[in-house]
Amino acid sequence: MQDLAGKHIVLGLTGGVACYKSAELCRLLVKAGATVQVAMTEAATRFITPTTLQALSGRPVFTSQWDAREPNAMPHINLGREADAVVLAPASADFIARLAQGRCDELLSLLCLARPRERVPLLVAPAMNREMWSHPATQRNLAQVQADGAIMLGVGHGEQACGETGDGRMLEPAELFEDIVAHFQPKVLAGQHVLVTAGPTFEALDPIRGITNHSSGKMGFAIARAAREAGAEVTLVAGPVSQPTPRGVRRIDVVSAQDMLAAAVAWAQAATVFIATAAVADWRPAARSGHKIKKDGSGRPPALDFVENPDILLTVAQGERARGGRLFCVGFAAESENLVEHARAKRERKGIPLLVGNIGPLTFGQDHNSLLLVDAGGVRELPRAPKLVLARELVAEIATRLPAASLP
């Protein structure tokens, strides 16, 4: 996916061992369609060579304000004017102090100070020892840099190059990349709290076996990511899947339909949008065996009784209507045939404003999908595309439908 097509990123490296991660970040940005101009402090060149970053970016690397390649001898002006964003990764404690004080004694700090602040954001990915990170001076400097308009991308927790463990290490390249992509997405859900259910449920027969389905959770996880990109607070209630949690999303892991219902009802109290993408089992065993159900030699399976699971979307929607609340509910229907007919009937039965239909066998476990949007006015198709692309389209569609009372 060319998430950053047409974007020009200035990637600034300052002194720190985390510079090795910047090479992978540069590669990810270029792969996503961005042009990347690397600028490095002299200290950064002690950790990774400009040659490496030049090879990965496909552009000469700038390290000095006296670089003669610029016709007007002003790289600190030109580089910032051309950028859609300046990303500092890694940003050392020393460099953050320079930004806080407005010092500009080398190219990269000059570039940051001279950039047009109203249209060229500064995204900062700190990297330092845990003691340096927690020092009051560093925290004061971080607060000042943020007050001056920079966007902090946070730090990771874990083992550091010095052998200690704690906060302060630079986020991983994939995490930074996701944050950078999210920065450029329209914030159409700013101020909203979106609740998403995703994945299958697992209904246990005994301690070994159970009933589930082929849902991978990919569509629901993509919707959670897209909603977070759009500026919402996002809570994701996930069935038993192995998908990585999207950046900035609160994840609640559940197993059975009853577990998912309890979590959905609890978190719906604070939500303004509920998107029920989970493929919830319609039935569960009436009783769970405490031990593995063994074959008895008869050649016949054991007799099993089932009871119907609660309807999570219907329960949440009815509860919201009874309270007179403002929760905007969106349902999903995974069918194997007659999609339009079943989706229309399901939307009316649930009493919700929007239902999204898809053909289950064509989407479960896949990276691509096509969606059918069904509302009181009719049916509209979102053609087959990567699930994240569809998730962003769906989020944008939901934003246009939110009642005025729910807007920030």
Tokens of 147: 């007050």
- Using an 8 Å Cβ cutoff, are 128 and 167 in contact? no
Distance between CA atoms of residues 300 and 351, nearest Å:
43
Distance between CA atoms of residues 136 and 163, nearest Å:
22
Buried b (16+ CB within 10 A) or exposed e, 25-44: bbbbbbebebbbbbbbbebb
Whole-angstrom CA distances from 156 to 128, 130, 318 are: 10, 10, 41
26 is catalytic: no
**Which of the following is catalytic: 19, 26, 162, 329?**
162
Q: How many CA atoms lie within 13 A of 36 on its CB side?
A: 30
Tokens of 239: 């069935």
Residues annotated as catalytic (active site), given as ranges: 162
